[in-house]
Each structure stands twice: as C-alpha cells, then as structure tokens.
Amino acid sequence: MTTDSGDAGTGVSPAPDSHICNTLQHFWVLDVAVQTPAHSALGNLLSYASTVPMPPGTLVRVPLGRREVLGVVWACEERSGDEGTRELKAVAGALDALSPLAEGWRDLVAFAARYYQRSLGEVALAALPPQLRDLTSQQLARRLKRRATSASTPVDAGLSSQDSPRGAGQAQSGPGSPDLAAETDVAHAVEPSAEQAAALARFEAETGPFLLFGSTGSGKTEVYLRAVAALLARDHAAQALIMVPEINLTPQLEARVRDRFEARFGAGAVVSLHSGMTNPQRLASWLAAHAGQARIVLGTRMAVFASMPSLKLIVVDEEHDPSYKQQEGARYSARDLAVWRGQREGAKVILGSATPSLETWHHSRPADGEDPGGRYVRLAMPGRIGDGALPTVRGVDMNLQPPKTVLSGALLDAIGQRIARGEQSMVFLNRRGYAPVLACADCGWKSECPHCSAYRVFHKIDRTLRCHHCGFTERVPRACPACGNPDIAPVGRGTERLEEHLGELFAPVKRSDGSPVRIARIDADSTRKQGALAQQLAEVHSGEVDVLVGTQMIAKGHDFRRVTLVAAVNPDGALFSSDFRAPERLFSLLMQSAGRAGRDANYLATQGSTAEMWIQTHHGSHPLFQALKRHDYPAFAKQQLDERRVAGMPPFAFQALVRADARTQETAQDFLHAANAAADALPHAAQVMRYPAVPLAIQRVANVERAQMLVESASRVALQRFLADWQPLLHALRREPVGKGVIRWLVDVDPHAI
C-alpha cells in the first residue's frame, strides 16, 4: 500500500468535507488501483477512506488531484477512530450495481503488471471498457436494469444488430438444452476427419495446455468449435474465449462462430471485443461477459483481460502472430497471458498454428532421452481436409532474370493460365504504397521525412508523400526541392505500383466470358474507409477478382476457395535482418501465404488444376526456402532453435529492452548509460548481461530520438528480480539532471523486435 501527498490524491486536503476523519469510531481504508500518470512513481495502490466496507474488485470513483477517476478496490481494511493521525480522502462513490471483479481477474492483472514492469492501475484500468470511466453509479444501474428487462432490443450500451439479444418469442435452445445443442452442432458440421477426431480425443482426455499444430487447411477452426460446443453442452454456465490476431482479418471465423452458436444460445451468447468497436459496443460486450450472459467472447489481444467469471476454455488462433504482443503502454503478450490465465483459473488452453512461434514449439517438444519434454501437449494435424495436397512451391531464381524484372515470364504465364480457367491468383508484397521513395537522379535528393529518420512513401493514387511512422503527409512536389529538376522518379515498388503493373500486363487479356481481367489490391491504404475490407473480400469470394495484390493482410486467416496460385514477389529482405526473429517471421508469413492456395480440393479436381506457391528470390538455396519447398516446419524450427541454443537467444535466454526517448540521441543514450551504471550494485546484476545503448533501427520518429539497451539472462527469475530492483533507480534517474531531457522511458519484457 502506498499513501501519497495531497496533490497525488490521498493525503491532507483543504476540503474537509471530502475526508473521513479519524474521529469516527469506525471506517474502512481501501487500497485502490487507479490510472496514475506514467512514471509518476506514485506506487501501485492509493489509499482512500469509506464509511462502509467494499469487497475487493468493486469499481469506485475516487478523487485524484483535481479530477475524479475510476478505480478498482484491491483491499479493504477496517480501522478504528484512534488509529492513525492523518485524514484520507473519501471514496466519491461505488459502481455497486456491478458485481465485483473476480479474484482470478485481479490475479491476472497483478501478474501482468508485475511481469511486464507496469503499474497495477495502468494495467487494470486499460483492461476495462473506456466508457465505464464516464458513467456514474446511477447511470450504470439504469443501464444494467434496462439490459436485464429487455430481451428483444439491443441494449442501451450500443450493441449492433448482430450483437442484440434474440427476441423472446423466437425458438432457441438455452444452456439447459445440451441434447439439442449436440444435435444443432451435428447439423452445422460435417463428420470430423480422423486427425480432427484424434486431436479432440486427446484434448478431452488431457489437461494441456495444448499446441494444435495443423497445416493450413487442416481444419483447426472446426476443432476449436467442437471443443467449445462440447464444453457448453457439458457445463451450463461455462464460458469460452476465442482470440484472433486481428478481428478485421478473420471475418469468416467470426461468421462461423456466430452461425454455429447464436442459433442455439441466442445472439447475446456470442460477443466481440476489439478496438474497432465503438465504446458503447465494447461496454455492452464486456458487461455481457462479466455477467456470464455471453457464453463465447471472440476478440483480439485485449480480450485476454475480459471479465469472464466462468471461463473454462481459451483458444488462441494463429498463436505465432506478432499482433498478440502489445506495442504501446503495457507491452504484454496476450498469448502468454492466456496460458497463465488458463492455469490460474483451471481453464483449458489451445494454441493453434500451422507455423507456431519457436517458443511455443520448444515448449511442446516431446520427451527425448534426458530431455523431459515441454510443458505443452502437441496435437498434430498434418493433412488437409478432403485429402487436398499442399501447394507445390516453385522458386524463381531472380539472378537469371533480366535486370529490373518485376514478375518473371514463367510466373506471368502461370497467372495467365489461371485467368483462362477462371481461377484466382494472389500476389504478395509486404510493402504498401506506390514506391518506398521518390528520388532525383541529378542531385541525389530523396523523399526523406523531416521528422523521422525514414523516407516518405510515394502514394500515386492521391499524389502524396506519406511517412508511415509519424503520418506526416505532403503533396508530391512538381520538381526536385533541392535542385529544381522536374524529372523526379519513384524508386522501388509497393503494392500500389505492383497493382498498376499487373493491370498494364493483363490489359490485352480477356476472361472466358470476354470481360476484362480484374486486378484488386488489399492493404492498409485500400481499406481505410468503413466497410471497405468486407466489400473487397466479398468481391474476391464471389469470383469477381482474378488477381489479388496485397500485403500480409491477405496472408492471414482467409479461406479463398478459388485461389490456386500464390506468389511472393520480393521476400529476401528479412533473410539478413539484424533482428534474430526475422527469419521466423518470414517463414511463417510465406507458409501462411502458401496456405491460401488450393484450400478446396473439390474445386481443384473440378478445374483439373493444382495449387502452387511461387517465390521470386535471389537466394533460392537458403535453408529457409528449402524447408518451405517441403512444407517442413519442423526442419526449419530445428535449424533455428539449434542456432539460438548456440547463441544463447530465446527461448534459451530471456530478454528485456529498456528504451529512452528524448529530443537528442545523446540525451537518450546518456540516460541509458547512467541507468546501466546504477544497476551495477543491484543484487542480481551478475546474472544479467547488459549490452551498450544503441539507437533504434529507425532512431527518430516525430522529432523524438530513440535509444535502447538490451538486457538478457539465462534465468527468467533473475531477470525479473533485476528489473523489479532497477525500477526505483530508473524513476530516481528521471528526476536527476541526466534525466531532465528525457521525454519518456519504458521497459519491454520479452520484446518481439530488437
């Protein structure tokens, strides 16, 4: 417990009517988690007084400085009037219409705050729907009352029509109808394959956690849904959490979940939680989960903190995806927290992927000799549904192509054959925009961002130069700003330029019905408008699109039944990155991309076609591409893990980054050097390797210079204790002269990018 000065919100204040005096015979001291300013060093909990006891987990409104903020009661202790000599600020009110947050939820928040080196209040308040902060106790009570009494219209909190409860007059089976539930499930789903049945049998028989290692198209989603269906039929109060990397990229999964379960339990039984929802929608979903009315929560990484009192199953789909790692504020891994939460609350956990993260793969290794094996149970599904074949991987040696070749003749011919047969192709390039840079050949000027150490990308569609780091945008100049040369030209290629190039190449070609070839692009630029992504995906599914160009957005989670060819245009950049995780991410992305081809074996048989993945590379003999040709993830993982074991890198070591942002690079690095020196005296310093401070790869963003220092240990416990001891020193340094020019500093535990 921390008690602080008056301006922090807990000490003596000149407003006596807002205090509980020690002259009262009895009062209660509440330790409350609130969202304190970043790096304020106020401590994890602030103390307030109340005339009535409040159980831990109660949401309260409390004064903090001159504001009134939302907080969560963490502890409540009775005091007599003669204890203490101070006055405490009083709790302003309690949202007591809402049942307290459960102990399991509070334990999850406390663990996340402790492990990721953030304040308790920061994690707790970020895990709650934002609209709760604006509601009074009376407003929330009225909202909950309307929610309880209205079963035929969307709740006041703003659910969309697809989230609204089913009308009372409509026939539906409820939690008390497990037999009907089982019958409905059979009606929705075909008989499981032998691999699916085996995976489900082991899942039911063992405790896990489980890694469902299934190839793309093996039917992992059906395993998830059957596991959920069995749980809900068996336990009338149970809840399941299904997590996806990015909700907008998995519309088919969301549709399947709703189709499978809403008819059985009502529309209110399935809710979504993700950042794309409005605040009222998020609040409505959160309240449904908290009350136990929502049996299934489908969400992104934020959903790992959903209040679900009867949580019995957690699914983390595409567990390898970097999107599960939060990159702002508390930099938590939702996947890792899901595993921890499952163990704490006795819920089974399924991590699913065709290309698991190397950490998860290592944790699921079978026992071998003296190696006792990993902590996870590996469930393998190597085959595709319907005995479909994985796509043949074809390499194109770009060293043998003419200079400046974008798409080889062989690849263009293969795409043309697909168009003639009415099939679809996907061309993958993980760089949006028209060109990564605009340049002047006369004087060497390039379209650098004035606020970042990066180039502004040329977007031809709106004739702008746009920085993808700070957002700074300007119109394309008519001539070189440095020398006046009117002949400034794009250098390199992005998805926008690739779309244009394909359109030009296939302009003379006609489809079988005589209509022109349709080229479409899906990336962050083409899907900015509301509903744009859904419309574009619908056009692909309907067969209106012949060639789809895009970034990694098209590589994840989509079930394009007519796609028979996928091509990766320029994947070599990640092979030689300074980030040791880059090859892992590249292999995963390419294998996931390949998995979009040939997912419908019946369609391939009807067309008399085969699925192919084309890779244009200058390094075809690289082990990564050789493993990809064989669809051999285990071989790739073994090679990478052997290298990491020798180098002492994760998962054989544990890392954290300490980053400092300042107006100058010198100031940022000086702060880190001072922090490094101060750490010498810490008890666990000898067990932790500290590397010198260096600039980030993109060291300046929005006129802020960024530097980082890597710390590493062979012991997770030693690293955690070291970081916990280091925190007070970092807070103190910020107040010393060496920290005056520092804008902010942060600790990133288990970083995904170095």
Report cis status (omega within 30 of 0) of the bond before 209: yes
Measured between alpha carbons, how far is 600 from 23 in angstroms, rounded to an integer?
77
Among the listed residues 565, 568, 612, 617, the one whose alpha carbon sits nearest the alpha carbon of residue 588: 568
What's the sign of the alpha-carbon dihedral 281, 36, 3, 82? negative
pLDDT at 168: 31
364: closest CA among 356, 372, 355, 374? 374
336-363 pLDDT, tens digit each: 999 999 999 999 999 999 999 999 999 9
Ranking 15-19, 299-303, 404-408, 529-533 by mean pLDDT, the lowest is 15-19
Confidence of residue 30 (pLDDT cuts 50, 70, 90): very high
The values of phi and psi at residue 135, to 5°, are -95, 135
pLDDT, residue 217, reads 86
- The answer to whether 453 and 698 have CB atoms below 8 angstroms apart is yes
Q: Indicate if the pLDDT at residue 182 is higher than 50.
A: no
Q: Which residue has the higher pLDDT, 341 or 390?
A: 341
The rounded distance, in Å, linking the Cα atoms of 71 and 61 is 6
Q: What percent of the chain has pLDDT over 70?
A: 89
> Where is average pLDDT lowest: 10-14, 16-20, 28-32, 723-727?
10-14
Average pLDDT over residues 171-194: 50
pLDDT at residue 173 is higher than 90: no
Q: Strands, E, within 429-487: which ranges?
A: 437-440, 457-459, 464-466, 473-475
pLDDT class of 143 with cuts at 50, 70, 90: confident
Spatial CA neighbour of 471 closest among 424, 423, 509, 528: 528
- Closest-CA residue to 620 (of 414, 418, 466, 408): 408
pLDDT at 177: 36
85 pLDDT more than 60:
no
What is the structure's pLDDT at 82?
54
Ranking 89-98, 288-297, 384-393 by mean pLDDT, the lowest is 384-393
753 closest CA partner among 572, 588, 581? 581
Q: Which residue has the tokens 């020798």?
A: 646
pLDDT at position 255:
85
pLDDT mean over 678-690: 94
pLDDT over threshold 50, residue 583: yes
Tens digit of each residue's pLDDT (9 = 90 or more) over 598-620: 887 778 777 778 899 999 999 99
pLDDT band at residue 2, thresholds of 50, 70 and 90? very low
Instruction: Tell me the average pLDDT of the chain.
Output: 86
Q: Which residue has the higher pLDDT, 412 or 610?
A: 412
Beta strands in 124-172 (DSSP E): none
Nearest to 223 by CA among 258, 249, 203, 196: 196
Q: Whole-model pTM?
A: 0.87
Q: Which of these ranges, 139-153, 217-231, 614-628, has the smallest mean pLDDT?
A: 139-153
CB count within 10 Å of CB 67 equals 9
Q: Say if residue 557's pLDDT is above 80.
A: no
Return the residue matching tokens 């990809």.
Answer: 628
More confident residue, 521 or 574: 521
Between 286-290, 293-297, 432-436, 587-591, the lowest mean confidence (pLDDT) is in 432-436
From the list 358, 380, 245, 752, the residue with the least C-alpha distance to 587 is: 358
CB under 8 Å to 545, separation ≥6 — which residues?
424, 518, 519, 520, 539
Exposed / middle / buried, residue 722 (Cβ in 10 Å: 0-12, 13-18, 19+): buried
CA distance 565 to 548: 10
Under 8 Å between Cβ of 175 and 235: no
- Residues pairing with 72 in the sheet: 33, 59
Which has the closest alpha carbon to 326: 406, 245, 227? 245
Backbone torsion region of residue 36, taken as left when φ is above 0, otherwise alpha when ψ lies between -120 and 50, otherwise beta: beta
Q: How far apart are the two ends of the chain, measured CA to CA in Å?
A: 35
Distance CA 448, CA 438 (A): 9
Report the pLDDT value the prediction gives residue 76, as an integer from 0 to 100. 92
Identify the sign of the CA torsion 672, 673, 678, 680: positive
| Confidence label for 162 from pLDDT (cuts 50, 70 and 90) | very low
**Would you state the pLDDT for residue 86?**
61
Question: Is residue 742 scored above 80 in pLDDT?
Answer: yes
Rg (alpha carbons) of the chain, rounded to whole number: 28
Span 634-663, average pLDDT: 95
Which of residues 247 and 662 earns the better pLDDT score?
662
pLDDT digits (tens, 9 = 90+) for 228-260: 999 999 999 999 999 999 877 667 788 889 999
What pLDDT is attached to residue 10? 33
Report the amino acid identity of residue 466: R
Q: Beta-carbon neighbour count of residue 253 at 10 Å? A: 21
Most confident of 535-539, 551-555, 707-711: 707-711
User: Each residue of 459-503: pLDDT tens digit?
Assistant: 888 889 999 888 899 999 989 999 999 888 888 888 888 999 999
Quickly tell me which residue has 């103390």 as its tokens: 47
* pLDDT score for 25: 59
Distance CA 285, CA 444 (A): 54
Percent of the chain predicted with pLDDT > 90: 59
